[in-house]
Amino acid sequence: MDRRKLLAAACAMALAIGLAPAAAASAVPATIPLTITNNSGRSDPVFLYDLGTFLATGQQGWADAGGNFHAWPPGGAPPVPAPDASIPGPANGQSVTIQIPKFSGRLYFSYGRKLVFQLATGGLVQPAVQNPSDPNHDILFNWSEYTLDDSGLYINSTQVDMFSAPYAVGVRLADGSTKTTGHLRSGGYNAVLSGLRNQAGGWGNLIQTDSGGNVIRALSPGHGIETGAISNGYLDDYINRVWTKYSTSTLTVTPFADQPNTRYFGKVSGNIMNFTNSSGAVVTSFQKPDSDSVFGCYKLLDAPNDQVRGPISRTLCAGFNRSTLLANANQPDTNPADFYQESLTNHYARLIHAQMVDGKAYGFAFDDVGNFESLVHDGNPQQASVTLDPFS
């Protein structure tokens, strides 16, 4: 799975761990309202974008404020400018309500300037925050990922690519109650940035500023490896110790919470960790990963959308990022008191989780292992929300 395309995996995992649809398909209308409330305290204009795949046809495009779908025109090589899909957002202290269609995509928001989107022959070119020459590099922006389909609404706040403009997401249920996630604690935004600056190992190098010296984001560690902010050898000692441990002992993975009898057993031989099933047959194998593979949950820890390798890989990814593999030979470890206890760990995810009101975040691609992700779902959604929070 490409780590930049998180939501499909998140929703698949949500279903796998028991978040079954709460209502029949007929209860989900073609569009639902989404209210964006601006509590940021900033005077900059806000621009909104609802971009994704229209599930009725499989076409990629954008939705306007009324929830009407528009397919992207053909792209080019080199990429050509995309149509302006922006929707005026709310001023500080105000709200704007739009309609969102049955989409799997992203709701972008930017402060001060419109985002630059282009179309290649393969479709939309998303902003690449790790690329210093990307036209959106100096723009303060963020995005939420969502899927609205016949099983309801899944909407998250994500830090898989970056920690930037703070926001929270929510859904209003049929009984009038709401589910929300993504709010930082008071002072949490600055606390995450300060924590990165004070963390040994180059973590402060993840913080990016615009041409005026203003902080615009902190890259995730995987992107930090791409830019050279963090060494791809950062986790080598921890990874080597894991490989050594399981050359003489067995790592037991039980990837499905509702299937406790489905277990796989990992044992290292040389550079390879082989997993067997209860019958002793090898079902999949992993080469020793590097830090990039761990932080990104891809490459040597690729997680296909299947029922064996993907679930095992997700569990390994979570164990490496939370540094629980040495302390616990039964994975996943779902006790948050055990997470991030090693000095070599995903400090980016650690700091973000510590500053969330509910402790939930998408600090890495498979933070949903054990239900620690910032995702809300309802099978009969009445209204969705995105709240732009203060920078403090």
Catalytic sites, residue numbers: 145, 161
Question: Can you point out the beta strands (E) in 150-206?
Answer: 152-157, 162-163, 167-172, 178-181
Dihedral sign computed on CA atoms, order 199, 205, 206, 211: positive
* Residue 168 · residue 183 · CB < 8 Å: yes
| Rounded Cα distance, 215 and 208, in Å | 6
- Peptide bond connecting 78 to the previous residue in cis, omega within 30 degrees of 0: yes
The CA distances from residue 84 to 49, 119, 168, 187, in Å, are: 9, 12, 25, 35
Instruction: Give, in degrees to the nearest 5, the angle at Cα 71 between 143 and 168.
Output: 15
Token pair 């179309």: residue? 119
Token pair 């780590």: residue? 3
| Rounded Cα distance, 286 and 301, in Å | 7
Nearest-CA neighbor of 7 among 292, 367, 378, 381? Answer: 367
| Rounded Cα distance, 333 and 321, in Å | 12
CA end-to-end span of the chain? 34
Which H or E element spans position 348? helix 347-354
| Rounded Cα distance, 241 and 171, in Å | 43
Dihedral sign computed on CA atoms, order 312, 314, 315, 316: positive
Residue 186: CB atoms within 10 A of its CB come to 11
- Peptide bond connecting 81 to the previous residue in cis, omega within 30 degrees of 0: no
217 has which bridge partners? Answer: 208
